[in-house]
Structure 1
Amino acid sequence: MSGLPPEISQDQLQKRVIRSLSASQLLSGIGNGASLAVGSLLAVQISGSEAFAGAATLAISVAGALSALPLASLALQRGRRRALTTGYFLAALGALGMMFVPPTQSFPLLLVSAFLLGVGNAANLQARFAATDLAAPQHRGRDLGLVVWAITIGAVAGPNLIAPGAAIGRFLGLPDMSGPFVISLVGMIAAILVLNLGLRPDPLKFAQRLKQEQTDGVSSTEVLPRRSSLVEGVSALRALPQARFGVGVVVFAHLTMVGIMSMTPVHVQHLSAQHSGGSALAPAAMDTLVVIGFIISLHIAGMFALSPLFGMLADRWGRQRSMVLAQAVFAASALCVILGKNSQLAVTVSLVLLGLAWSIATVSGSAYVSESVTEESRVPVQGMSDTLMGVAGAAGSGLAGLVLATWGFEGLAWIGLAIAGAVAVWILSNRSRAT
């Protein structure tokens, strides 16, 4: 195979890419899980107001929105390896900053550090598309799902490392809530090392070389690629209704998931305070933090653990049928909260269903987007998709704090139910037009 050592086939290279991406997702996921579990609690504790509960998640989402296109541009120019490692390096700086938020009680430092962690989230999102660079068309959903699944172990472990992280923090002379971010920092650095070793040759660059050889007869030793303008991504979304539709389904799924998930730690602290007679604005006790970490870890397991299955389901059952299924699961999640808003068990079940719904929608929608555009515009469109996901996450987390303060957690669930119903109608009408 051109551009590869003779003993390595393209299929073998793809397997190595999947292994490397999966390992990096696992390691970086530890940081994501810790920030989800602790970030909103720190925001409430430092600001003294639940209206700011979504501030850390908002900063993470804004970073995802602002960095997705630059990372996509960097991938086009320098390859996936450079783009992903840059994202994880900035996230490592964010984890370092978060270590010092509890002792300094600095709200600006919280926002800046969370923003840098959000760049790592954008890299995680791009990694799922990196899995499709060399994938066979009939296996894109499966390979994408495998990489999404790989984050499960790290992301599920992250929230459950609150207690061990607290011990590490005390050993280093830091507050308990600083400790999990020490583990996050180590995970990000390890992810960088894995990608630097494993993504050689770079999958996107190699895919571009293969495409040029097939169309132009360019020698594999010549300098690769024609650069695609990121403006092409916007143009493709405007010109291709099906690509726009797929992005829309993913974006609304992310909006719903982030809005509800980001307020869950605050709601669980409310429930604990009600049972103990304490204040919901007081720093969370360690046992409450452990419960929150456990619930968030189950939610993250729902987001990622079954993604290979959902990828195969999307390949065999169809992308749009899977999208409809996602809306049904979103609705079930919302109903759990509406019917059992004061039950910790109901909230836990709701969060698991929320994660499953997000996974089904994101895997099927992302695969739909990748196959709805041309080869030349695929990476820019993927970057636009991730940018819009970041915008949706920022809007969801920013507005969710206000909704929580005004209408409570149940109000968030009603909004999520309405979004799921509207998106389901949109999917069904799109299917009828397509047929």
Structure 2
Amino acid sequence: MKNSVTVEEKGQHLPASIAEYVKSPEKQRQLHAKTMRIVIFSQMFGGAGLAAGITVGALIAQDMLGTDSYAGVPTGLFTLGSAGAALLVGRLSQRWGRRAGLATGFITGGVGAIGVVLAALFNSILLLFLSMLVYGAGTATNLQARYAGTDLALPKQRAKAISMAMVFTTFGAVAGPNLVNLTGRLATSIGAPPLSGPFMLAAVAYIVAGLVLLVFLRPDPFVVAKAIAKEQLDNAVSDSDQAKLSLAHETTMNKKGIILGATVMVLTQIVMIAIMSMTPVHMQHYGHSLGKVGIVIGIHVAAMYLPSLITGALVDKLGYTIMSFASGITLLLAGLIAAYGPGDSMGVTILALALLGLGWNFGLISGTAALVDATPLQVRAKIQGTVDVLIALGGAAGGTLSGMVVAHSSYTALSLAGALLSVLLVPVVLWSRKKAYEKLMKKHTG
């Protein structure tokens, strides 16, 4: 891996394992298909690891601290931890390829999950908070895995590739919350608190996901994609200056596209994390069992990932600006229903959380597509990691502040704040469309 990247960057001859893909479009298609299969398989395990934190993270803190005021802190911490991990995974991927970055992130998340189990065993708040930070690496990696499918995808297939990586996360992510009672009994049988059970599952799931990528993601799709881009540039230089200028134009960074993609993803993350993280606590106040909490969160996570194939097709067909509008409207409805629906109604809670997950899905896929289109390969993974840091920081703020808002006001106030925040997506999208129109008109009149 190291030699492949170094040789490619110095412009020397590529190793045969990379060169055969650079010269053959058919080989590129085969590698893209293989990459998608490996990413999909790893995401099924990654989804199971992700589900533990959002299902029982707040409940563990509530149980250990005896108050709701800091119940959102674990969600905030693992989201904050995912910020640092997103930067690390992005930098590792840019330097060494997706395989190194994603495998490191997942295995680190598994280590964090083990720490949470130990914290519950020894009733250590400090260890819980530190472990949640490390556990967040899995969350960041789960999100960044969506980029791996785009490295060798054609421009009109990128949203579909993103959606395929996400949709298979559903299998593990939905299974995780619905295994709360089973994993709880397993934890109790070995003398551990029942709420630590889902994190035992997370530890195994994250580590398996990391090992799958480490062993099977060869040759690395990002390394191959960079080699292809360099080959195209070299050919353009040798062909004509005009071809060189044309290719340079295609690889120019689109800052407005980056701003649009980043803003859409950050806002949807804040709204989703804030409302989702306090829903389990809100439900328990109305007497709902842990099993019912698992059902609601399972449906929420299904709505986050399961519609991805349809969302990806819509983004490819309609464009990411229209789907960004759809994200804002869906999140607005979710916040209003969560705010004004009866708290003792499972049906209303399920509807609100399902819409919350669907709005997040629209925002993440449309924002990711905008970001990929706006970034050249030379800096793509690095920028993707940086933007995911902003997403994670936004989610951390939403998760941490959510418990304080509920403790000092109400779940209704929190949900209304989320609904109002989602409306900000509308002016952001309108701004981007105006800038794109002005750029188009300038091009035609110039």
Q: TM-score, normalised by structure 2?
A: 0.86
Structure 1 residues 211 and 260, CA, compared in 2 at 3 Å: closer, same or farther? same
Q: Within the alignment, does 1:118 sit opposite 2:136 as a pair?
A: yes
The one-letter amino acid paired with 2:33 is K
Q: How far, CA to CA, are the matches of 1:203 and 1:7 in structure 2?
A: 13
Q: How far, CA to CA, are the matches of 1:240 and 1:76 in structure 2?
A: 19
Q: How far, CA to CA, are the matches of 2:424 and 2:199 in structure 1?
A: 38
Structure 2 partner of 1:425: 427
Q: Within the alignment, does 1:135 sit opposite 2:153 as a pair?
A: yes
Name the SS of the counterpart of 2:110 in structure 1: helix
Contact 1:341 1:409 in 2 (8 A): no
Q: How far, CA to CA, are the matches of 1:347 and 1:399 in structure 2?
A: 21
- One of 187, 202, 207 as aligned partner of 1:189: 207
Kindly report which structure 2 residues correspond to 1:5-404, keeping only aligned pairs within 5 A, or say none.
9-216=27-234, 240-272=255-287, 288-342=289-343, 343-404=345-406
Contact 1:149 1:307 in 2 (8 A): yes
Structure 1 residues 406 and 150, CA, compared in 2 at 3 Å: closer, same or farther? same
Could you tell me how far 1:216 is from its partner in structure 2?
2.5
CA RMSD of aligned residues (A): 2.0
Structure 1 residues 132 and 177, CA, compared in 2 at 3 Å: closer, same or farther? same
Could you tell me how far 1:341 is from its partner in structure 2?
4.0
Name the SS of the counterpart of 1:132 in structure 2: coil
Structure 1 partner of 2:9: none
Could you tell me how far 1:6 is from its partner in structure 2?
8.2
Could you tell me how far 1:92 is from its partner in structure 2?
1.1
Could you tell me how far 1:217 is from its partner in structure 2?
5.9
The one-letter amino acid paired with 1:415 is A
Structure 2 partner of 1:221: none
Structure 1 residues 430 and 78, CA, compared in 2 at 3 Å: closer, same or farther? closer
Contact 2:330 2:359 in 1 (8 A): yes
Could you tell me how far 1:312 is from its partner in structure 2?
0.8
Could you tell me how far 1:257 is from its partner in structure 2?
0.5
Deviates more, 1:239-248 or 1:209-218: 209-218
Contact 2:226 2:378 in 1 (8 A): no
Q: TM-score, normalised by structure 1?
A: 0.89
Q: How far, CA to CA, are the matches of 1:7 and 1:68 in structure 2?
A: 31
The one-letter amino acid paired with 2:148 is A
The one-letter amino acid paired with 1:327 is G
Name the SS of the counterpart of 2:20 in structure 1: coil
Unaligned runs of 5+ in 2: 1-17, 237-251, 438-446
Q: How far, CA to CA, are the matches of 1:384 and 1:78 in structure 2?
A: 17
Could you tell me how far 1:199 is from its partner in structure 2?
0.8
Q: How far, CA to CA, are the matches of 1:369 and 1:6 in structure 2?
A: 27
Contact 1:146 1:307 in 2 (8 A): yes
Could you tell me how far 1:189 is from its partner in structure 2?
2.2
Equivalenced residues, count: 403
Structure 1 partner of 2:19: 2
Q: How far, CA to CA, are the matches of 1:379 and 1:93 in structure 2?
A: 24
Could you tell me how far 1:157 is from its partner in structure 2?
0.6
Deviates more, 1:299-308 or 1:204-213: 204-213
Structure 1 residues 172 and 6, CA, compared in 2 at 3 Å: closer, same or farther? farther
Could you tell me how far 1:186 is from its partner in structure 2?
1.7
Contact 1:155 1:297 in 2 (8 A): yes
The one-letter amino acid paired with 2:330 is V
Residue identity over aligned pairs, in percent, reads 33
Q: How far, CA to CA, are the matches of 1:27 and 1:17 in structure 2?
A: 16
The one-letter amino acid paired with 1:256 is V
Q: How far, CA to CA, are the matches of 1:383 and 1:193 in structure 2?
A: 21
Structure 1 residues 269 and 199, CA, compared in 2 at 3 Å: closer, same or farther? same
The one-letter amino acid paired with 1:70 is L
Q: How far, CA to CA, are the matches of 1:111 and 1:403 in structure 2?
A: 20
Deviations 1:391-427 (A, max 9, x none): 1011101111111112211111111111122221321
Name the SS of the counterpart of 2:423 in structure 1: helix
Deviations 1:289-328 (A, max 9, x none): 1111111110000000011110110000111000001111
Contact 2:148 2:221 in 1 (8 A): yes
Could you tell me how far 1:94 is from its partner in structure 2?
1.1
Contact 2:90 2:383 in 1 (8 A): no
Deviations 1:347-383 (A, max 9, x none): 2210000000000011011101110122322222211
Could you tell me how far 1:213 is from its partner in structure 2?
1.7
Could you tell me how far 1:8 is from its partner in structure 2?
6.7
Deviations 1:106-165 (A, max 9, x none): 111111121111011111111111111111111000001100111101011111111111
Deviates more, 1:206-215 or 1:139-148: 206-215
Could you tell me how far 1:86 is from its partner in structure 2?
0.6
Q: How far, CA to CA, are the matches of 1:395 and 1:175 in structure 2?
A: 28
Contact 1:16 1:198 in 2 (8 A): no
The one-letter amino acid paired with 2:19 is S
Structure 2 partner of 1:222: none
Contact 1:3 1:206 in 2 (8 A): no
Contact 1:34 1:158 in 2 (8 A): yes
Could you tell me how far 1:81 is from its partner in structure 2?
0.6
